[in-house]
Amino acid sequence: MTATAAQDTSAIGSLPYVKPKLLVIELWGMGDLVIATPFLQAASRRYAVTLLAKPYATDLQRRFWPKVSVVPFIAPWTAFRHKYRLLRWPWREMARLRRLRAERYETGISARWDPRDHLLLLLLRTKRRLGFPRLNSQLFLTELLARPDPTAHRYENWRVLARSLELDLPPREQLPVPPRREQDRVLVHTGAGQPVRVWPLERYAQLIARLRLAGYHVQVACDPDQRSWWLETGENQVATPRTVSELLLLIDQAGVFVGNDSGPCHLAACCGVPTFTLFGPQLPEWFVPMHPAAEWLEGKPCPYKPCSDYCRFPIPYCMARSTEEEVWSSVAPFVTRHISKP
């Protein structure tokens, strides 16, 4: 038996104790996976955990939950547009998921009130299936869980699941913060999963100029589709991380993180970096990054908010109406609290 295996089993008489198998489904964004991190860490101490998630979960696994087995899968219904063009679905890849039936999972869970997740748990022949029912998905579950308060942070869904599995997860405000070396760099990431969550790049450029004028070292990072804009404005050292591993290298050199409501912001918080988040169509109480020093600016009011990123207007006014002066008046003291000027 290897040293790793010895940590995962204990002798009961002459037989080794084998952890029960747990299947976790989280098929959506990076931020959703990061929010699940405390649960995955706690569950992997008691269960042999398999996570069905997007491929970048493998990079997160190496850093945050090394004992979790990741099965990469891009569910076609998680596409932002045209998600139900069935002829374009990867049917062959989906059929390969049937091999998971042979694992005979004792328990399967999803933290979303998503009937598609619940049906998938049933099709994979998971014996005990826990979830938050919606649209008659209780037909696919063996144990129905009551959703947290509608205003609660999404992390609370994982706490409900944890209690059902007799795991102890602390409240969000009491989550431990990873130790970090002192850094003097401000990492400003201007990307997001959808355009409606992006504060205008022209205003980011002015914010960055003001931070540099105040004496701070600023590293700009962006999504690939924003790179040419930054280069044209003279930001020759702009970073464009294309993998989670590349993004982690930038975060590890940062003293604070400033950006949109996005996966990179959640990832920075999980690494112990204080974050300042510019919110738009989503609600901070649902998705504020899980760091005790996290700060944010809420998006402007809209009668359709939260709108799940499907904006009804030519531009997302919830983001566009946050002025440069308003953001600067919040970001400047936030940076000063955590970084000494070089």
For residue 183, count other CB atoms closer than 10 A to its CB. 17
Query: For residue range 231-262, what is the model confidence (pLDDT) as tens digits?
Result: 999 999 999 999 999 999 999 999 999 999 99
Using a pLDDT cut of 70, give the percent of the chain over it.
Answer: 95
- Residues 114, 53: one domain? yes
Residue 65 and residue 44 in contact, taking contact as beta carbons nearer than 8 Å: yes
In this structure, is residue 13 part of a structural domain?
Answer: yes
> 195 preceded by cis ω (within 30°)?
no
Query: For residue range 95-129, what is the model confidence (pLDDT) as tens digits?
Result: 999 999 999 999 999 999 999 999 999 999 999 99
User: Residue 216: which CATH number?
Assistant: 3.40.50.2000
Residue 287 and residue 223 in contact, taking contact as beta carbons nearer than 8 Å: no
Residue 309: per-residue pLDDT = 87
- Residues 53, 23: one domain? yes
Residue 1: per-residue pLDDT = 35
Using a pLDDT cut of 90, give the percent of the chain over it.
Answer: 85
Query: For residue range 75-85, what is the model confidence (pLDDT) as tens digits?
Result: 998 887 888 78
Residues 6+ apart with CB under 8 A from 18: 9, 48
In this structure, is residue 316 part of a structural domain?
Answer: yes
Residue at which a domain ends, from 138, 172, 206: 172
The residue range of the domain holding 249 is 185-338
In this structure, is residue 178 part of a structural domain?
Answer: no
- Residues 35, 14: one domain? yes
Query: For residue range 26-45, what is the model confidence (pLDDT) as tens digits?
Result: 999 999 999 999 999 999 99
What does the buried/exposed string (b/e) look like for 302-321 if buried means 16 or more CB atoms within 10 Å of the residue's CB?
A: beebebebebeeeebbbbbe
- Residues 53, 136: one domain? yes
Residues 6+ apart with CB under 8 A from 331: 207, 211, 258, 276
> Residue 19: is it exposed, middle or buried by C-beta count within 10 angstroms (0-12/13-18/19+)?
middle
Tokens of 116: 């598609």
Say yes or no to pLDDT of 266 above 90: yes
In this structure, is residue 180 part of a structural domain?
Answer: no
Of the two residues 134 and 88, the one the predictor is more confident about is 134
Which one-letter amino acid corresponds to residue 218? V
Does the predicted model carry a pTM greater than 0.85?
A: yes
Of the two residues 310 and 231, the one the predictor is more confident about is 231
